[in-house]
Structure 1
Amino acid sequence: MARTTPLMLQIATGDPRPIVRQIVDGVRMQIATGGLRAGDQLPSVRGLAQQLGINPNTVAKAYAELTTEGWLESRQGMGLYVAAPRQRLSDAERERRLDDAVGRFVNDVIPLDFAADEVESRVSHALRRLAPRRIA
Structure 2
Amino acid sequence: MEYVTELPIYLQVIRDLEKKIIQGKLKPGDRLPSGRDLAVQYKINQNTAARIYRELEDMGYCFTRRGIGTFLAEDEAIFRMLKQERAGELLKGFMEEMGELGFTKEAILSLVSGYPEKKGAEKENHI
**TM-score, normalising length: structure 2:** 0.66
Name the counterpart of 1:7.
none
2:124 alignment partner, one of 107, 110, 132: 132
Name the counterpart of 1:104.
93
**TM-score, normalising length: structure 1:** 0.63
2:53 alignment partner, one of 55, 63, 73: 63
Distance 2:26 2:84 in 1: 25
Q: Which runs of 5+ in 2 are unaligned?
A: none
Larger Rg: 2
Name the counterpart of 2:78.
88
Runs of 4 or more consecutive aligned structure 1 residues displaced over 4 Å after TM superposition? 94-101, 109-115, 119-122
Distance 1:30 1:95 in 2: 14
Distance 1:107 1:26, change over 3 A: same
Contact 1:70 1:83 in 2 (8 A): yes
- Which moved further from structure 2: 99-108 or 24-33? 99-108
**Is the partner of 2:77 in helix, strand or coil?**
coil
Q: Which runs of 5+ in 1 are unaligned?
A: 1-9
Amino acid at match of 1:102: L
Q: Spell out the pairing of 1:27-42 with structure 2 (5 A cutoff).
A: 27-42=17-32
Distance 1:76 1:96, change over 3 A: closer
Task: Give the paired residue count.
Answer: 120
Greater RCO (CA < 8 Å, at least 6 residues apart): 1
Q: CA RMSD in A?
A: 3.7
Give the percent of matched residue pairs that are identical in Structure 1 and Structure 2.
29
**Is the partner of 1:80 in helix, strand or coil?**
strand
Name the counterpart of 1:44.
34
Post-superposition Cα deviations, 1:2-25, rounded to whole Å, max 9, x if no partner, equal xxxxxxxx2x23464322122112
